[in-house]
Amino acid sequence: MSSASTTTPDIALPVGLALAEVLADDVPAGSADAPEAWAYRAIADIDHEIEREAHGYDDMALDARDVLSGMRHQEYAAKRRFVVVRAAALVPGGPPPAVEDVVAHVFVCHPTTSNLRLAETYPFVRPAARGQGIGTALLALGERLAAEAGRTTLLSYSEQGAEPEPGPGTVAATTGAGRVDVDAPGPRFAVAHGYVLEQVDRHSVLELPVADSLLERSGAEARAVAGDDYRVLTWTDAVPDDRADDVALLFTRMSTDAPVGGVDYEEDPWDAQRVRTWTDQLRGKGYGFLMTVAEHVPTGALAAFTLFEYPLDRPDFAHQEDTLVLREHRGRRLGMLVKVVNLEALAAARPQVRRIHTGNAEENAHMLAINVALGFRPAGGWAAWQKRAAAPAEGTVTA
């Protein structure tokens, strides 16, 4: 009947609602449209509704295949998903619940190869179903699972369509950069449950096309500073086998060199196999990517990179993901150089793209300045909320 199990932890839900755990193993490979994948389609529908509420569009919402692909890949984190369903729609042997029968979901993620103190819990409730305690029940479930696993750093987030100006009714992150409206549903919920605002990421949007003159000027200025010691390479949908270790180092350094604010986040090591797993997951989501790297010619080492990801069946937008210049190579305009080259490659490969979304920590002044220079405009953002839990008693068995 479904890809969800009703044998799940008890939580305090309103009468008429039931909790079901979402299972990937029961869904045929690559079949997000299969009857068994009803819960994945419902999760995507909720995400699209919440994204439209925050931004007026749903470019950043998950699709069912995104959720399914992510749940199939558990190599580096233990992931669980639960949905809250109208109990009358969960009929053993009957048809799967309709999308509208699912009113909320929660994603729980525990990293398993690093950051073993960390537990991430992200509850999502349809706007029409808020105010009934559903989000509180889902957050409590995530915190209980964290305690059972011995996790002591609890992380969640909220989203905003615009960042408020400083003043009454707002709260700043512990970094001092970025703020949220404390009366908005997400921040109000987080504060009420004892979470602290540790970081705010600015969501920025770049409308395309970028003027050729701007790219030419910015690229020429960056190349003049970088000099002959650096050259750029661009890869589409695959990382060459002989550079996978170098790319793994860049992803690893993203976890140490990029600002994390007050979030208790430590190095997250990557290797060549993890790079291949990442490309496999993108392929499973129906995504492509463009990666531009800067190579230090005297040593052959990669000094910087930037990355676009995009759904192959939605040609109107792309996501600007990681951009990093290794600390030892900074001051040579490599960040601007790789971004310009990747923008030129995107224009050639996917000329239909009309907007690019990205996120940067509000305290990351250097990268924000590059984005502003290229024409990105602020469009809200994401807030990282953290809570410290008591460490398990000595001798406690944890998973």
Chain-centroid distance of CA 371 in Å reads 19
Contact 148, 399 (CB under 8 A): yes
Mean pLDDT of 244-251: 98
How many Cα atoms within 13 Å fall on the side-chain side of residue 2? 26
The percent of the chain in helix, strand and coil, each rounded to the nearest 5, is 35, 30, 35
Structure confidence by residue, pLDDT tens digits, 126-159: 999 999 999 999 999 999 999 999 999 999 999 9
Query: What is the reported pLDDT for 338?
Result: 98
Least confident of 5-19, 74-88, 93-107, 371-385: 5-19
pTM of the model: 0.92
DSSP state of 395: T
Structure confidence by residue, pLDDT tens digits, 311-341: 999 999 999 999 999 999 999 999 999 999 9
Mean pLDDT of 73-85: 96
Question: What value does the mean pLDDT of the chain take?
Answer: 93
Whether the upstream peptide bond of residue 209 has omega within 30° of 0, thus cis, is: yes
Which DSSP string do the residues of 260-303 spell out, in sequence order?
-TT---------HHHHHHHHHHHHHTTEEEEEEEEEETTTTEEE
Query: What is the reported pLDDT for 78?
Result: 97
Residues 6+ apart with CB under 8 A from 204: 357, 358, 359, 360, 368, 371, 376, 377, 378, 379
Question: Where do the domains of the chain lie, and which CATH numbers do they carry?
Answer: 4-151 (3.40.630.30), 209-353 (3.40.630.30)
Contact 303, 253 (CB under 8 A): no
**Torsion on CA atoms 193, 191, 381, 290, rounded to nearest 10:** -30
Mean pLDDT of 170-184: 94
Q: Is residue 383 helix, strand or coil? A: strand
How far CA 373 is from CA of 230, 290, 336, in Å, comes to 22, 21, 9
Taking 50 as the threshold, does the pLDDT of residue 103 lie above it? yes
Query: What is the reported pLDDT for 27?
Result: 82
Q: pLDDT > 90: what percent of the chain?
A: 87
Would you state the structure tokens that stand for residue 259, as one six-digit string? 């600002």
Q: Which residues pair with 199 in a beta bridge?
A: 384
On the 0-12 / 13-18 / 19+ scale of CB atoms within 10 A, 86 is: middle
Structure confidence by residue, pLDDT tens digits, 180-232: 999 999 999 999 999 999 999 999 999 999 999 999 999 999 999 999 999 99
Give the count of beta carbons closer than 10 Å to the beta carbon of residue 223: 18
Structure confidence by residue, pLDDT tens digits, 22-34: 988 878 766 888 8
Least confident of 148-152, 174-178, 302-306, 388-392: 388-392
How far CA 385 is from CA of 143, 145, 192, 340, 379, in Å, comes to 13, 18, 12, 33, 20
Please name which of 135, 73, 67, 150 lies closest in space to residue 105, comparing C-alpha atoms.
135
Please name which of 119, 51, 116, 40 lies closest in space to residue 81, comparing C-alpha atoms.
40
Query: What is the reported pLDDT for 207?
Result: 97
Residues 6+ apart with CB under 8 A from 297: 228, 229, 230, 231
Phi and psi, residue 44, nearest 5°: -65, -40
Structure confidence by residue, pLDDT tens digits, 362-396: 999 999 999 999 999 999 999 999 999 876 655 54
Please name which of 231, 176, 228 lies closest in space to residue 200, comparing C-alpha atoms.
176
Residues 6+ apart with CB under 8 A from 285: 63, 65, 66, 69, 70, 311
